[in-house]
Amino acid sequence: MSEPAPEAPPAAVAVDPAAPEEPKGPSKSELKKAAKKAEKAASKATKAAASAASAPPADVDFAEAFYGTLPLHQSQERPNRQRTRIESLTPNDEGKTVLFRARINTSRAQGGKMLFLNLRQRTVSVQGLMVVAPEKVSKQMVKWAAGLLSESIVLVEGTVQKTTEEIKSASIKDVEIMITKFHLVSGIEGNLPFSLEDANRAEADYEIEGSQFNRVNIDTRLSGRVLDLRTQTNQAVFKLQAAVTDYFRQFLHSQGFVEIHTPKLQGAATESGASVFKVQYFKGEAFLAQSPQLAKQMCIAADFERVYEIGPVFRAENANTHRHLTEFIGLDLEMAIEEHYHEVMELLDGLFLSIFRQLRENLKDEIEIVRKQFPAEEFIWREGPEGTLKLTFAEAVDLLVADGVDRSILDDINTENEKRLGKIVREKYHTDYFIIDKFPMELRPFYTMADPNNPGLSNSYDFFMRGEEILSGAQRIHEPNLLMQEMKKKGIDPAQMQAYVDAFKMGCPPHGGGGIGLERVLMLFLKLNNIRRASLFPRDPKRLEP
């Protein structure tokens, strides 16, 4: 076996003298600088991450528990938290936390961080202010509140703060509420039929040259009556109406009267068949009461002596006028007479004078509110020793004839001449309130007692305000045979009202009374010019809703 050949020596590596030298590494100094820079960047990143972790996400609202829509109120709980009435707020409450429910009257955002609100309870309002503040009020809260519609009902919590300047847009002028919590109780669905601002506007505003206000006519108001009733004027009108019935009751109680409640379904017409509503009554028919007249008189026969009632009255008169309703509230009274029917007339006069005085003394603010929208001459009456003006029917006719009215048309005084007489009386006697006595017998109902000296006249009277009748009354017939005789003269069969006639056969004292239309009294005292404005939900020949 031959020996292996010896290995060749390694070839020599050629060196290129033009090739660049290999770069040198960073120096120690440079390495230190780089390390410090990286350390700072890492520290900054760590801090940023920590800050980001601790901060709430951009879409999280720190105030979300302080506002929003409340669950449906089903009386789930009763925490017994004290509620505040806006009208009670004064500067003495500064710093006090208050809770109250109110309507949003108006709202006005200022930028995205401030919201002014006018908050209303009935007719009283206060300014609310919502301002963005850390951990208290967020931008989202302000934005949400600004989006709520006027007339929404909200639950408000905040702090009372005195103001440096008078707040002209609110009835509470010296404090405002710094709002911290704001929740929706009841919102608005759809569009309101009109704005409350327009509905509150004075009639005179529309006469201003260049004005472009939206006039809310009476039919629109009545169709949207719930909204219309929220106006300051209507709140005042119906507070005055409530006062009239209160004063009516108080006066009559002081005079020994008993309040009664009579049926409104009757088997016969009270006065005549021409103006009654017939209703089906099982297999027969009944009538809606034109007045409590029959029942009042029967109560006198039952020895009640003095009675009154406040209740609905129905009249089937197709009269589309400013002063007629098919249903209204009657203030009726009846009383036994000792000597003369003027006892009744004088008591009624005292009743009206008492009501007028108390309205003037106790409800000045409400009267003033109404006058802002419906300006009118102040209602006046005679308060001196001369007493209330009392005219006979003949004297009233003479006044009209002297003013140019043809006597031949004055067998009855129609509406036009009543108003004319009212103007004459105001100019001559300086009163809007007066009484006419001794009407012709033919103009009065069957139960009216005749004058003892002139059978063509009656012991009857009407009371007037601003030239319009507000009460009709008389001495009644208490003798059954005379009563039946007068019924037959008016075409009424006594047998159809047998229970009424029989009441007098059992003995009944002489008596008299009157019936007052509540809405008409209010309309004329305030000069509202349309009786529908004095009726909560008026009924006339063309309206049964709402």
Active site members: 315, 317, 323-324, 469, 472, 520
Token readout for 67 is 């506002």
**Measured distance CA(121)–CA(104) in Å, rounded:** 9
**Measured distance CA(532)–CA(529) in Å, rounded:** 9
Token readout for 118 is 């006018």
Contact 113, 131 (CB under 8 A): yes
How many Cα neighbours within 13 Å face the side chain of 301? 21
Amino acid at 427: E
Q: In sequence order, what are the residues at sequence separation of 6 or more whose Cβ sits closer than 8 angstroms to the Cβ of residue 348?
A: 333, 463, 471, 473, 514
Contact 136, 82 (CB under 8 A): no
The helix (run of H) or strand (run of E) holding residue 146 is helix 139-146
Query: Closest Cα partner for 389 from 456, 352, 436?
Result: 436
Query: Closest Cα partner for 191 from 151, 145, 231, 229?
Result: 151
CA 486 to mean position of chain CA atoms: 45
Token readout for 230 is 């929220």
Sheet holding 284-288, edge to edge: 265-266, 284-288, 278-281
**Measured distance CA(466)–CA(88) in Å, rounded:** 38
**Measured distance CA(389)–CA(190) in Å, rounded:** 54
Amino acid at 263: P
How many Cα neighbours within 13 Å face the side chain of 299? 24
Token readout for 500 is 């009424």
- Neighbour tally for 209: CB within 10 Å: 4
DSSP 8-state symbol, 258: E
**Measured distance CA(143)–CA(273) in Å, rounded:** 64
**Measured distance CA(531)–CA(328) in Å, rounded:** 10
**Measured distance CA(351)–CA(366) in Å, rounded:** 21
Q: What is the DSSP string of 210-222?
A: T-------HHHHH
Scan for tokens 């009208």, then name that residue: 87
Phi first, then psi: give them for residue 295, nearest 5 degrees. -65, -40
